[in-house]
Structure 1
Amino acid sequence: MFAKKDKTEMLENNRFGSVSKKSNLIMNFIMALLAFLCVVPFIFVVIISFTSEKSLKTNGFSFFPDKLSLEAYKYIITSSDQLLKSYGVTILITVLGTIVGLFFISTYAYAISRKSFAYKKFFTTFAFIPMLFGGGMVSFYLVVTKFLHLKNSIWALILPMCMNSWYVIVLRTFFKTSVPDAVIESAKIDGATEWRLFFQIVLPISLPGMATIALFLTLGYWNDWFNAMLFIDSPSLTPLQYLLMRIENSMEFLSQNATKLGVSQIEAAANMPKETAKMAMVVLSTLPIVFAYPFFQKYFVNGLTIGAVKE
């Protein structure tokens, strides 16, 4: 009787185990399909950027173009002699802005995450208000140009984006849930100062959260063109995204006003790789971030999920 019962339990366990394996297989297939669907558009953009403009007009968009060409990349490179300079400006503001932003956001978030900080409620509310209300574009422009005098300065591309209320709240929650109070108290008993406590104890524990915020800041600085349009007139400070937007606007102008131009300019507008150049711009602006993302990936999921579930 007992042997029969044990056999029945084993069959039920095997049945549930087989169901679990099947469900895992289905979930893995779904995740692989979703990942493939996310990658396919970027691959398609890369293929179009290497497609001949004439082939694109004749046959339309295709994963297997009849003729490959580097016309789009040649046009972008030759249409502006400061492409490399803009790349350098974008890399500079991305690296410097990420470092400055991490410093300000992490120190602010750590202060309001500690129970011993007397004014944490006031500064938490102070950080939360900009998530609900904004002063508007005019006041923003006047503060940056008239009060801070940052027009045509590299800091005009860095300081307006180095603080973000949402990032402060996320990192504050991360500090509260992942940094034990016992560790901080023991370090204080051993004589650690606040700065040493923050840099040598808190930050090493908080690498997932810091890497997550660093990734958000990096993406924000790399893709920013609006601040450059508002505050930058000097070509030597033009970032990559704003330069590519200006190139695209010039292409649109030539194509829409071809009949009003001279003969040589009409021919240039007709032979211009309009559609493929747009895709080439996407590739040039996205590829460095694609290569940088794997370095953040191992911390990214942990940074988003730690503190999401309360015991």
Structure 2
Amino acid sequence: MAQAAAQSDLKLAKQVSGGANFAINSFFWIYTFLCVFPLIVVVIASFTDENTILINGYSLLPEKWSLGAYDFLLKDWQAIVKSYGFSILLTVLGTVIGLAMMALYAFPISRKDYPHRNFFSFFMFFTILFNGGLVPFYLVYTQGLHLQNTLLVLMMPYFISGFFVLLIRTFFSNSIPKELYESAKIDGAGEWRIFFTVVLPLSLPVLATVGLFTTLTYWNDWFLSLLFITDSESVVSIQFRMYKTLLDIQYLSANAAAYSALAANDPNFTMPGETARMAMAVVGIGPIIFAYPFFQRYFVAGLTVGAVKG
């Protein structure tokens, strides 16, 4: 009797567990679809004829397909390729240098034997709460450092993030055993060797997580270019070039004389509005999608392991 009751309870538990897993999986499949669906609509709209969108709106199966939006964007393809190369260089250099600086700052303040750890931790935390404002920010880089129209001015503001420094510090403190430091010191290792041979190899999850967010920050940024880049032929990122293209489209759409001048030179000229916006989104987001899988395996661990006490 007791054995039959235990088997019945086990069977019931499996049924409940199976139902719960099905419900959870279903929820996340639906949530994933809701996240991906807008991206699918954007891609399809970018290949849709402009008049079709204006008449029928967005559709997963448009009546007429067209490459007009991409033809419009790629008329100046040399500039787009140049901006792509610049954005890739900016993103790679900025991410690598930023990660190195944040990890080097976080390492000493994660050590309990460092006497000034509280002061420097508070100093970094203070930068999260307060900033000097836009005008001092602009004056420092243009009048103080004279970095206008340079690559460095687009990288320096994002080199160090207070939140990321504290996240890395927490990971160092809670996830790396203190015995490893003592063992390395017994073997004659100095602080630099401990950092590069012991700490960094064990910190790939948090470094990859911070690296992903930093990569997104550099790739998607257009505001710094708007502030500091006045020479359109110098350093122009792909996001800023797409922003300028959007402004040009808005200007031509609102200015009948300018539109007529372009149409007079090319009888087949049509101004893509909505489709061009969708095409710009596709052009801008493309490379970063391919970068994400390289960080995915470390992403969850980097956010959670350092967030709890070991």
TM-score (norm 1): 0.95
SS at structure 2 position matched to 1:33: helix
- The equivalent position to 2:239 in structure 1, one of 233, 238, 241, is 241
- The equivalent position to 1:156 in structure 2, one of 128, 153, 157, is 153
Mapped to 2, the partners of 1:247 and 1:174 lie a distance apart of 42
TM-superposed CA distance for 1:121, in Å, is 0.4
Q: Which residue of 2 aligns with 1:114?
A: 111
Q: Does the 8 Å CA contact 1:85/1:236 hold for their aligned counterparts?
A: no
Mapped to 2, the partners of 1:138 and 1:126 lie a distance apart of 22
Q: Work out whether 1:7 is the aligned partner of 2:1.
A: no
TM-superposed CA distance for 1:196, in Å, is 1.2
Coordinate RMSD, CA, aligned = 1.6
Mapped to 2, the partners of 1:101 and 1:179 lie a distance apart of 22
- The equivalent position to 2:201 in structure 1, one of 199, 204, 207, is 204
Q: How is 1:126-137 mapped onto 2 (pairs within 5 angstroms)?
A: 126-137=123-134
Q: Which residue of 2 aligns with 1:140?
A: 137
The amino acid across from 2:295 in the alignment is F
Q: Does the 8 Å CA contact 2:253/2:259 hold for their aligned counterparts?
A: no
Q: Work out whether 1:285 is the aligned partner of 2:264.
A: no
Q: Which residue of 1 aligns with 2:70?
A: 73
When residues 93 and 262 of structure 1 are mapped into structure 2, their CA distance, relative to the original with a 3 A threshold, is closer
When residues 185 and 262 of structure 1 are mapped into structure 2, their CA distance, relative to the original with a 3 A threshold, is closer
Mapped to 2, the partners of 1:7 and 1:99 lie a distance apart of 62
TM-superposed CA distance for 1:266, in Å, is 5.7
SS at structure 1 position matched to 2:307: coil
TM-score (norm 2): 0.95
Q: Which residue of 2 aligns with 1:256?
A: 254
Unmatched tracts of structure 2, length 5 or more:
none
Q: Which residue of 2 aligns with 1:191?
A: 188
Query: Runs of 4 or more off by more than 6 Å in structure 1?
Result: 267-270
1:34-64 per-residue CA deviation (whole Å, 9 max, x = no partner) reads: 1111111101100000111122122211000
Mapped to 2, the partners of 1:262 and 1:242 lie a distance apart of 23
The amino acid across from 1:74 in the alignment is D
1:15-36 per-residue CA deviation (whole Å, 9 max, x = no partner) reads: 1121011100111111111111
Unmatched tracts of structure 1, length 5 or more:
none
The amino acid across from 2:308 in the alignment is V
Mapped to 2, the partners of 1:261 and 1:220 lie a distance apart of 35
Q: Which residue of 1 aligns with 2:48?
A: 51
User: How much identity, in percent, do the aligned residues show?
Assistant: 46
Mapped to 2, the partners of 1:273 and 1:148 lie a distance apart of 41
- The equivalent position to 2:176 in structure 1, one of 175, 179, 203, is 179
The amino acid across from 2:299 in the alignment is F
TM-superposed CA distance for 1:130, in Å, is 1.1
The amino acid across from 1:114 in the alignment is R
Q: Does the 8 Å CA contact 2:108/2:114 hold for their aligned counterparts?
A: yes
Q: Does the 8 Å CA contact 2:252/2:259 hold for their aligned counterparts?
A: no
Q: Work out whether 1:231 is the aligned partner of 2:228.
A: yes
Q: Which residue of 2 aligns with 1:308?
A: 307
TM-superposed CA distance for 1:307, in Å, is 2.7
Q: Does the 8 Å CA contact 1:79/1:247 hold for their aligned counterparts?
A: no
TM-superposed CA distance for 1:236, in Å, is 2.6
Mapped to 2, the partners of 1:261 and 1:164 lie a distance apart of 44
- The equivalent position to 1:85 in structure 2, one of 82, 86, 89, is 82
TM-superposed CA distance for 1:310, in Å, is 2.9
Mapped to 2, the partners of 1:145 and 1:263 lie a distance apart of 40
Q: How many residue pairs align between the two structures?
A: 307
Mapped to 2, the partners of 1:215 and 1:81 lie a distance apart of 28
SS at structure 2 position matched to 1:212: helix
